[in-house]
Amino acid sequence: MRLQATLLVLASCVPSAFAIYPDEVNHVDFHHALLGVPSSHSTFFLKPSPSSNASLLYTLSEQSLLGAINPRDGTLIWRQNVSRSSLPGDHGILRASDGANAVVSAVGDYVSSWSALDGKLIWENWFEGEAVTDLELLELEDATAAASSAKDTIALFGGKAGVVRRFDGDSGEVKWEYKDDSNDLPFQVSSSATEVFYISLQSALLKGNKIKVTSLDTLNGRQNHHVVLNSESDVSGPESVLFVGANTASPLIVWADKANKSLKVNVIGTKQVSTLNIENTSGEEIQSITVHTAKKLNSLPHFLVHYETASGSWAEVYHVDLKSAVASKAYSLPFLQSWSVFATSNVDANVYFTRITESELTIVSSASHGILGRWPLPATLSERGVHAVSEVVTKGDTVAVRSAALLESGDWKLIRNGQIEWTRYEALFGALAATWAEADDQEDLAHQLEVEGHESLIKAYVHRVNRHVHDLQYLPDWLKELPTRVLTSLVTDEVSNLDGFGIHKSVIVATENGRVYALDSSNHGTVAWSVKAAEADSWDVKSIITRPGSATVYLDDGSSVTLNTTSGAILDRAAATTQVRSIAFINDDGTPLAIGIKPNGAPMDSVDRPGFFVTQSDDGRVLGWSAKNSKSPVWDFAPVPGQKIIHATTRPSHDPVASIGKVLGNRSVLYKYLNRSLVLVTAVGDNTASFYLLDGISGKILHVSTQEGVDTTQPIASAMSENWFAYSFWGDATDPSDAKGYQLVVSELYESSIPNDRGPLDSAANYSSIDTLPLPHVVSQSFIIPEAISHMAVTQTRQGITTRQLLCTLPASNSLVGIPRQVLDPRRPFGRDATAAEAEEGLFKYSPFLEFDGKWYLSHTRDVAGIRSVISTPTLLESTSLIFAYGGDIFATRATPSQSFDILGKEFSKMQLLLTIVALGVGVAILSPMTRKKRVNQIWKATS
CA separation for the pair 847, 594 (Å, rounded)? 45
Beta bridge partners of 223: 216
Q: Among 399, 428, 457, where does a domain finish?
A: 428
Q: Is the pLDDT of residue 117 over 60?
A: yes
749 close to 677: Cβ distance less than 8 angstroms: no
Q: Is the pLDDT of residue 610 over 70?
A: yes
Q: Which pLDDT does position 495 carry in this prediction? A: 46
CA angle, residues 701, 704, 708, in degrees to nearest 5: 150
133 close to 188: Cβ distance less than 8 angstroms: yes
**Looking at the structure, do residues 396 and 460 belong to the same domain, yes or no?**
no
**Looking at the structure, do residues 396 and 450 belong to the same domain, yes or no?**
no
Nearest to 191 by CA among 161, 224, 166, 154: 154
32 close to 428: Cβ distance less than 8 angstroms: yes
- Beta-carbon contacts of 244 under 8 Å, excluding residues fewer than 6 positions away, are 134, 187, 188, 190, 199, 251, 252, 253, 254, 268
Q: Which pLDDT does position 193 carry in this prediction? A: 77
DSSP letter (8 states) at residue 631: S
Residue 898: helix, strand or coil by DSSP? Answer: coil
442 close to 506: Cβ distance less than 8 angstroms: no
Beta bridge partners of 519: 507, 527
Tell me the per-residue pLDDT of 560-579, one tens digit each, with 9 for 90 and over: 999 999 999 999 999 888 89
Summarize the confidence of residues 444-458 as an average pLDDT: 73
Q: SS3 string of 73-127?
A: CCCEEEEEECCCCCCCCCCCEEEECCCCCCEEEEECCEEEEECCCCCCEEEEEEC
Helix (H), strand (E) at residue 291: strand 288-293
897 close to 17: Cβ distance less than 8 angstroms: yes
Strand residues in 511-592 grouped as ranges (E)? 515-520, 526-532, 541-547, 550-555, 560-564, 570-574, 582-586
Q: Which pLDDT does position 435 carry in this prediction? A: 95
Q: Is the dihedral of CA 657, 659, 664, 668 positive or negative?
A: positive
**Looking at the structure, do residues 318 and 420 belong to the same domain, yes or no?**
yes
Summarize the confidence of residues 218-247 as an average pLDDT: 88
Domain assignment present for 787 = no
Candidate from 99-108, 211-220, 441-450, 659-668 with smallest mean pLDDT: 441-450
Q: Is the pLDDT of residue 169 over 70?
A: yes
If pLDDT is split at 50, 70 and 90, which confidence band does 16 have? very low
635 close to 625: Cβ distance less than 8 angstroms: no
Q: Is the pLDDT of residue 14 over 60?
A: no
Candidate from 240-254, 441-455, 715-729 with smallest mean pLDDT: 441-455
**Looking at the structure, do residues 349 and 446 belong to the same domain, yes or no?**
no
Nearest to 662 by CA among 671, 654, 651, 673: 671
**Looking at the structure, do residues 395 and 324 belong to the same domain, yes or no?**
yes
Domain assignment present for 366 = yes
Q: Is the pLDDT of residue 857 over 90?
A: yes
CA separation for the pair 459, 200 (Å, rounded)? 84
Q: Which pLDDT does position 561 carry in this prediction? A: 95
Q: Which pLDDT does position 175 carry in this prediction? A: 94
Strand residues in 323-455 grouped as ranges (E)? 326-336, 340-347, 350-357, 360-365, 371-376, 385-395, 398-407, 411-416, 419-425, 433-437
Summarize the confidence of residues 701-717 as an average pLDDT: 93
Q: Which alpha helices (H) appear in 398-456, and where do they start and end?
A: 440-453
CA separation for the pair 263, 742 (Å, rounded)? 61
723 φ, ψ (degrees, to nearest 5): -115, 30
**Looking at the structure, do residues 308 and 423 belong to the same domain, yes or no?**
yes
Summarize the confidence of residues 9-29 as an average pLDDT: 59
Q: Which pLDDT does position 21 carry in this prediction? A: 66
Candidate from 141-145, 342-346, 584-588, 925-929 with smallest mean pLDDT: 141-145
**Looking at the structure, do residues 402 and 314 belong to the same domain, yes or no?**
yes
Is residue 927 classed exposed, middle or buried when 0-12, 13-18 and 19+ CB atoms within 10 A define those classes?
exposed
792 close to 728: Cβ distance less than 8 angstroms: yes
Q: Which pLDDT does position 705 carry in this prediction? A: 94
Q: Which pLDDT does position 17 carry in this prediction? A: 45
Q: Which pLDDT does position 768 carry in this prediction? A: 64
CA separation for the pair 673, 676 (Å, rounded)? 10
Domain assignment present for 165 = no
Q: Which pLDDT does position 167 carry in this prediction? A: 95
Q: Domain range holding 473?
A: 440-491
Q: Is the pLDDT of residue 434 over 80?
A: yes
Domain count for the chain, please give it.
Answer: 3
If pLDDT is split at 50, 70 and 90, which confidence band does 248 have? low
Nearest to 364 by CA among 338, 343, 387, 383: 343
28 close to 51: Cβ distance less than 8 angstroms: no
CA separation for the pair 356, 376 (Å, rounded)? 10
Domain assignment present for 367 = yes
Q: Which residue has the higher pLDDT, 316 or 766?
A: 316
CA separation for the pair 184, 160 (Å, rounded)? 9
547 close to 592: Cβ distance less than 8 angstroms: yes
Is residue 785 classed exposed, middle or buried when 0-12, 13-18 and 19+ CB atoms within 10 A define those classes?
buried
**Looking at the structure, do residues 334 and 379 belong to the same domain, yes or no?**
yes
Work out the percent of the chain whose per-residue pLDDT is above 70.
Answer: 91
Domain assignment present for 176 = no
Residues in the chain, total? 944
Strand residues in 525-660 grouped as ranges (E)? 526-532, 541-547, 550-555, 560-564, 570-574, 582-586, 593-597, 612-616, 622-626, 635-637, 644-650
If pLDDT is split at 50, 70 and 90, which confidence band does 868 have? very high
CA separation for the pair 212, 186 (Å, rounded)? 10
CA separation for the pair 590, 941 (Å, rounded)? 76
Tell me the per-residue pLDDT of 463-521, one tens digit each, with 9 for 90 and over: 888 888 888 888 888 888 888 777 766 665 544 466 667 788 899 999 999 999 999 98
Q: Which pLDDT does position 588 carry in this prediction? A: 62
If pLDDT is split at 50, 70 and 90, which confidence band does 74 have? very high
Domain assignment present for 65 = no
Summarize the confidence of residues 761-782 as an average pLDDT: 77
Domain assignment present for 941 = yes
Report the chain's mean pLDDT, rounded to a whole number: 87
- Dihedral of the alpha carbons of 810, 813, 816, 819, in degrees to the nearest 10: -70
Q: Among 404, 428, 452, where does a domain finish?
A: 428
Residue 917: helix, strand or coil by DSSP? Answer: helix
In angstroms, how far is the first alpha carbon of the chain from the final one? 63
Q: Which pLDDT does position 143 carry in this prediction? A: 42
**Looking at the structure, do residues 456 and 343 belong to the same domain, yes or no?**
no
CA separation for the pair 609, 250 (Å, rounded)? 74
**Looking at the structure, do residues 388 and 459 belong to the same domain, yes or no?**
no
Summarize the confidence of residues 411-440 as an average pLDDT: 92
The pTM of the full predicted model, rounded to 2 decimals, is: 0.88
Summarize the confidence of residues 79-105 as an average pLDDT: 86
**Looking at the structure, do residues 423 and 444 belong to the same domain, yes or no?**
no
CA angle, residues 849, 854, 856, in degrees to nearest 5: 85
**Looking at the structure, do residues 453 and 376 belong to the same domain, yes or no?**
no
DSSP letter (8 states) at residue 473: G
Q: Which residue has the higher pLDDT, 381 or 682?
A: 682
Q: Which residue has the higher pLDDT, 138 or 806?
A: 806
Candidate from 24-28, 212-216, 258-262, 623-627 with smallest mean pLDDT: 24-28
Summarize the confidence of residues 518-535 as an average pLDDT: 91
Domain assignment present for 225 = no
